[in-house]
A = this chain, B = another copy of it.
Amino acid sequence: MKLTPEMQGLVRHSPLIQAFDDPSYNLLMENASVHKVGEGSYVFRQGDPAEELFICAEGCIKLFRLTPNGDEKIIDIIQHGNSFAEAVLFMGGRYPVHAVALKPSVIVGIDGPQYMGFLRGSSELCVSMMGLMSRRMHWLLNEVDRLTLHNATFRLAAYLLEMYARGGHSTCINLAAPKHVIASRLSIKPETFSRILKRLSESKLIRVGDHSVELLNVEELESLVRVEL
């Protein structure tokens, strides 16, 4: 299947790819696969051998882990334009998480060995890749922080402000996924999530829409969160 020009632009500028020069990029894309995946279907499963890297060209993908009892913990929600499962190719090469589409999505699969070949051939590409990995690690460190040092309300506030920053500082934040998914991403139960939103509404910090949240008092939210490093 083919990508729209818009999607091609997204892929070309994804962090995973942008450091490539045009010839390498073209070679990479010749081997790339494009998949349409329906809502709820798997892109890959935890433990599968990692043969491809993926870029989400449209839609969105949740990465998560499962306990044997079936509880799921959503690690991250990948929006279009972002890549995932990088940094997997280096070790034994199994995906460390499950990936399923949250809505009908289009994803581009990059051949792992070929990608690694390019990396091996250019330390410049490597350095850019390492920068990417390093950023991810910092993010994970912060995540551990948030999980251990802070409570549920704090995590939610921090999440809202992150979305706020990402969305060009518009006070109206569109929730990319159903609330229970966001909740899991924040390691909060849906009931608790709901209660916290209510409390924040009551103290006039936010207004809760159906699939959106409006920030009414960014200042105060920030002061809530700024109480961290």
0/1 per residue, A79-106, Cβ < 8 Å to B? 0000000011111000011000000000
Q: Are A228 and B134 in contact (CB under 8 A)?
A: no
Given A120-B127, A130-B90, A73-B140 contact (CB < 8 Å):
no
**Bound complex: CA of A133 vs CA of B138, how far in Å?**
12
Contact A148 B147 (CB under 8 A): yes
Whether A119 lies near B129 (C-beta < 8 A) is: no
Q: Tell which of A52-60, A64-72, A173-181, A210-218 binds the partner.
A: A64-72
Choose from B67, B141, B150 the contact partner of A140 (Cβ within 8 Å).
Answer: B141
Judge if A222 is at the interface, Cβ distance under 8 Å.
no
Question: Is A39 located at the chain interface by the 8 A CB criterion?
Answer: no
Q: Mark A106-141, 1 if CB is under 8 A from B, else 0.
A: 000000000010011111111101110111111011
* A130 contact set on B, CB distance < 8 A: 87, 90, 119, 126, 129-130, 133
A133 to B90, CA, bound (A): 9
Please tell me if the beta carbons of B143 and A67 are within 8 angstroms of each other in the complex. no
Give bound CA distance, A144 to B147, whole Å.
8
Bound CA span A91–B133, Å: 10
Residue of B nearest to A69 (CB): B227
Query: Which of A89, A126, A140 has the most chain B CB atoms inside 10 A of its CB?
Result: A126
- Interface pair A144/B148, CB less than 8 Å apart: no
For residue A1, CB closer than 8 A to chain B, the reply is no
Residue A3 interfacial (CB < 8 Å): no
Interface status of A46 (Cβ within 8 A of chain B): yes
Contact of A187 with B by CB under 8 A: yes
Pick from B89, B126, B150: contact of A123, CB under 8 Å: B126
Docked complex Cα distance between A108 and B89 (Å): 30
User: What distance in Å separates the Cβ of A128 from its nearest Cβ neighbour in chain B?
Assistant: 9
Chain A to chain B: the 4 pairs with minimum beta-carbon distance, closest first: A126-B126, A90-B134, A123-B123, A140-B140
- By a beta-carbon cutoff of 8 Å, the part of chain A in contact with chain B is 46-47, 65-68, 71, 73, 75, 87-91, 96-97, 116, 119-127, 129-131, 133-138, 140-141, 143-145, 147-150, 187, 227-229
